[in-house]
Structure 1
Amino acid sequence: MDLRIGGFRYDTTEALFDGSVTVQGARSTTMSTAATLPEIFERVVADEVDASEFGLTFLLRALDQGVPLVAVPAFPVRAFRHSAVFVNTGSGIAGPADLVGKTIGEFGVYGQDPGVWMKGILADEYGFRPESNRWVIGGLEHPAPPFTFTSHPHPDNLDITATPAGKTLSAMLDSGEIDALFTANVPQPFLDGSPHIGRLFPDYEPLERDYYRRTGYFPIMHTVVVRRELLEHNPGLARALYTAFLEAKQAGAQRYRRFRHLYQTPLMVPWLNPLLEANDRLVGEDWWPYGVSANWKALDTFLGYHYEQGLSARRWTVEEIIAPDLLDT
């Protein structure tokens, strides 16, 4: 069969894009990308790709709508998210307790992947309650309405509105029209040095490392999905996709390990070797694990957060969302 696979070009997927890793049993593999991740996700919903990177929250929303998708336990995007909450410096927010009663923005949907993780972590560790806030959903750097390709479930007691016409979340945060922003991407005004935007946790790396040390969770944002009927007609495809994504990820990790002999000079990042050594000591040799067993607790935690935050119609289980013949990974 000929496969169309959607996704971004990351270290974890580069080998699939350059053809050095292929999907066993496929006659050909076409890697399809786009300017933004929402465009890739929209292709999944429209059935324009056979398999694709897909955000966990969008998978669960699709499953609630009866879309016959199933996950392959490869996770091309994951990120620690204490760094993903930005605040207006004039909002009076000096710590998590100060979020109460504030207006918070989110890109595209209420409950994007980093938002689910951070709401859950803030609730567990600081008593955060989303219903105490006002929420504004829209475009980050370009005016845009909430995503139209996905559903928008949320508890009835939440105050959620769309950004005003012509407004962006980054500009609204910079001007103080919103007090905080839960975001997957760093707001451009912050990168430009705006004095009006800071992080909720300015010294976030020690907090994120401590979070990993205590929980073992490296938060997962995206998985790989495929339609169930495609797997039914192509036995072995789920395993072949998993193996290909795993080999691509391992090829990316191996580049960093090989470059250690060269003091990472092929990469334009100073002091990268000491960072990799510190990560090895904390995380182990497999910084970016794939498979169910290494990620079951993190996945189950996300599924729990998603349900507790009123984003799922029911509490999904890991066994329900993963392709059955890959539960042994």
Structure 2
Amino acid sequence: MDTTPSALTIGCFRYDTTQALFEGGIDAKVTTAPTLPEIFERVIREHEFDVAELGLTFYLRLLDEGLPYVALPIFPNRVFRHSCVFVNTHAGITGPADLAGRTIGEFGTYGQDSGVWAKGILADEYGFAPERSRWVIGGLEHPAPPFGFIPHPHPARADVSEAPAGKALGAMLEAGEIDALFSANVPQCVLDGSPNVARLFPDFEPLERDYHRRTGIFPIMHTIVVRRELLTERSELARELYTAFSAAKDTAADRYRRDRRLYQVPTMVPWLDALVERNEEQFAGDWWPYGIEANRATLDTYLRYHHEQGLSERRLRVEEVFAPALLGT
């Protein structure tokens, strides 16, 4: 196998945190796909890339099943998740306690990364118990079976079923066929302003900011993985990749900071300067840290949620999940 740097293939989404890599910030072939699940499937089924983005739960579910990749503490996708719970406005759900006994949709699998975080946060903050609800797994805007390229563990006490044939979760939520939806993406019916759907927490930003201030947690969705054999063959590869991805992320952050002088005119988002300034104050200079120590509380919490929700047989430790060469980051 040719393991020179130019032979590396990288599959990841084109975020502002990774844009510089697509523009030549690394000596590798960097490609993407229309959707993230497509990248994940190509990694898991075909082992197509040398380096790739992978959802945390997708990686954790396969740790003991011979997936030939190891994770690096690089996190290109992270999102606060109070905002990802949607409800039918006629279901009588006015707060998290009202989710008990309801039928809730979830995209792709029971416990997608966004769902792990949302369930865990609601459990910690509001006493939500996922096993007290019924869960329906399917496609968001188009009918689709649960992901066929990963295992689907869930607690025996949890009532989990597939969406009916020909049914998509967004339309089911709008029609009242499910009471709520945990979704990484905003359903089209919400974007269209349907009066039949709303967020569980309509004013979510103050809640998410307060959650971050109290806990220090900025939820992580995805990590970067690399072929295990390449780390054996090239002892410095983990550090090289960490440096390259970190530089790409810092390039994006620096652009937002520089553009404050111009009131962010390279973008078309009004008041973006004010948002950048609020984030600078809240995140103390690094909105989006990579590495283990800056993210230990977030990672430990995710691993706890993953176990509590029946997605891993035991509570994993951070040191078991990431490449040893980068545990000191």
The reply to whether TM is greater than 0.5 is yes
Aligned to 2:254: 254
Aligned to 1:44: 43
Is 1:3 the counterpart of 2:2? The answer is no
1: CA distance between counterparts of 2:300 and 2:23?
33
Aligned to 2:90: 90
Shift of the alpha carbon at 1:71?
1.0
1: CA distance between counterparts of 2:316 and 2:227?
18
Q: How does 1:116-195 map to 2 (within 5 A)?
A: 116-195=116-195
1: CA distance between counterparts of 2:100 and 2:325?
45
Q: TM-score, normalising length from structure 1?
A: 0.97
Shift of the alpha carbon at 1:230?
1.8
Shift of the alpha carbon at 1:175?
0.3
1: CA distance between counterparts of 2:70 and 2:295?
16
Q: How does 1:45-64 map to 2 (within 5 A)?
A: 45=44, 46-64=46-64
Contact kept? 1:72, 1:323, Cα under 8 Å: yes
Is 1:320 the counterpart of 2:325? The answer is no
Q: TM-score, normalising length from structure 2?
A: 0.97
Aligned to 1:16: 21
Aligned to 1:35: 34
1: CA distance between counterparts of 2:318 and 2:183?
25
Moved more, 57-66 or 317-326: 57-66
Shift of the alpha carbon at 1:261?
1.2
Moved more, 302-311 or 277-286: 277-286
Contact kept? 1:64, 1:312, Cα under 8 Å: no
2: CA distance between counterparts of 1:123 and 1:272?
33
Q: Which segments of 5 or more consecutive residues in structure 1 lack a partner in the other structure?
A: 23-27
Identity of aligned residues (%): 67
Aligned to 2:66: 66
1: CA distance between counterparts of 2:96 and 2:66?
37
Contact kept? 1:64, 1:313, Cα under 8 Å: no
RMSD between aligned residues: 0.9
Q: How does 1:202-221 map to 2 (within 5 A)?
A: 202-221=202-221
Q: Helix, strand or coil for the counterpart of 1:76? A: coil
Query: How many residue pairs get matched?
Result: 323
1: CA distance between counterparts of 2:217 and 2:56?
15
2: CA distance between counterparts of 1:66 and 1:153?
17
Contact kept? 1:5, 1:32, Cα under 8 Å: yes
Is 1:266 the counterpart of 2:266? The answer is yes
2: CA distance between counterparts of 1:73 and 1:242?
8
Q: Helix, strand or coil for the counterpart of 1:18? A: helix
One-letter amino acid of the structure 1 residue matched with residue 189 of structure 2? P
Q: How does 1:217-296 map to 2 (within 5 A)?
A: 217-296=217-296
Shift of the alpha carbon at 1:32?
1.7
Q: Helix, strand or coil for the counterpart of 1:224? A: strand
2: CA distance between counterparts of 1:93 and 1:69?
42
Q: Which runs of 4+ in 1 moved over 3 A?
A: none
2: CA distance between counterparts of 1:85 and 1:100?
14
Aligned to 1:196: 196
Q: Helix, strand or coil for the counterpart of 2:28? A: strand
1: CA distance between counterparts of 2:57 and 2:153?
11
Shift of the alpha carbon at 1:107?
0.4
Shift of the alpha carbon at 1:64?
3.2
Q: Helix, strand or coil for the counterpart of 1:198? A: strand
Aligned to 1:304: 304
Q: Helix, strand or coil for the counterpart of 1:193? A: coil
Shift of the alpha carbon at 1:4?
0.7
One-letter amino acid of the structure 1 residue matched with residue 70 of structure 2? V
Aligned to 1:25: none
Q: Helix, strand or coil for the counterpart of 1:232? A: helix
